[in-house]
Amino acid sequence: MQLTYLGHSCFLLETSHARIVIDPFITGNPSCPLALEQLSCDYILLSHGHEDHTADAFALAQRCQATIVANYEIAEYFSAKGAKTHGLNPGGGHTFPFGRVKLTLAHHTSSMEAGANPRYMGVACGIIISADQKNLYHAGDTALFLDMQLIGKAGLDVAMLPIGDNFTMGPDDALLALEFLKAKVTVPMHFNTWPVIAQDGDAFARRAATGGHAVRVMKPGDTLAV
Ligand code: NI
Ligand code: MN
């Protein structure tokens, strides 16, 4: 399968049976190489409610008749608007025609319609996708947590891990996460979109290499064969 980075925490995963977009943030994402109209998919996976992870979920779901998979609150929110959805919660998974999606813990917040009265959107999650005999983990926006060791027990082919700091773990904590997850390759995300999360991805990859961990720094638009 093919994993294409669309900037920030947004990825397109093309398995043998489905096109899956994770955390669609196309509109308003200064690092996304595509226009929304250029993207099509069958499933949309959301880690949590924040705008930089869900901005285009509804428009994409409507145009493509794609199914939104997210925590229960987010699934209900989009279902009420008329989208096809499937709700999960951490620890729970479901087998779809293309493979299995399981939500994991993440330490972060989750809301929509930010402002004085943001709407609570359940807990923030990570996502494990098992398809075409591979396991991928998208950590969402999270702090470092020791239970990542349990997530690593799935046997991860690819981990997508935030390194931006400020809103999520930064590079120092992400280096510890590599030890816990033991993925064959890790792709850093959620950095350099804005100055407040500026990080040196190549420096992170070099530090990871000294610990024996493979890190692939993808530029927006890059594709990784998994
Ligand atoms: Ni967030
Ligand atoms: Mn975020």
Phi, psi values for residue 150, rounded to 5°: -70, -40
Residues 6+ apart with CB under 8 A from 70: 45, 46, 47, 78, 85, 87, 88, 125
Ligand nearest to the CA of 29: 2
Ligand 2 centroid–CA 215 distance in Å is 21
Q: Give the pLDDT confidence of 80-90 residue by residue, as tens digits.
A: 999 999 999 99
Task: Look at residue 115 and tell me whether its pLDDT is greater than 90.
Answer: no
- Number of domains the chain contains: 1
Ligand 1 centroid–CA 109 distance in Å is 6
State the Cα–Cα distance between residues 133 and 148, nearest whole angstrom.
Answer: 21
Residue 17 domain boundaries: 2-225
Burial category of 53 from C-beta neighbours within 10 Å (exposed 0-12, middle 13-18, buried 19 and up) = buried
Ligand 1 centroid–CA 124 distance in Å is 8
Ligand 2 centroid–CA 18 distance in Å is 25
Ligand 2 centroid–CA 52 distance in Å is 5
Confidence of residue 138 (pLDDT cuts 50, 70, 90): very high
Ligand 2 centroid–CA 103 distance in Å is 17
Contact 105, 145 (CB under 8 A): yes
State the Cα–Cα distance between residues 20 and 132, nearest whole angstrom.
Answer: 13
Ligand nearest to the CA of 108: 1
Q: Which two tokens stand for residue 91?
A: 């620890």
**Residue 101: what pLDDT?**
98
Task: Look up the CATH number of the domain holding residue 155.
Answer: 3.60.15.10
Q: Which two tokens stand for residue 120?
A: 């609570």
- pTM for the whole structure: 0.98
Q: Give the pLDDT confidence of 39-78 residue by residue, as tens digits.
A: 999 999 999 999 999 999 999 999 999 999 999 999 999 9
Ligand 1 centroid–CA 163 distance in Å is 13
Ligand 2 centroid–CA 95 distance in Å is 27
Contact 194, 8 (CB under 8 A): no
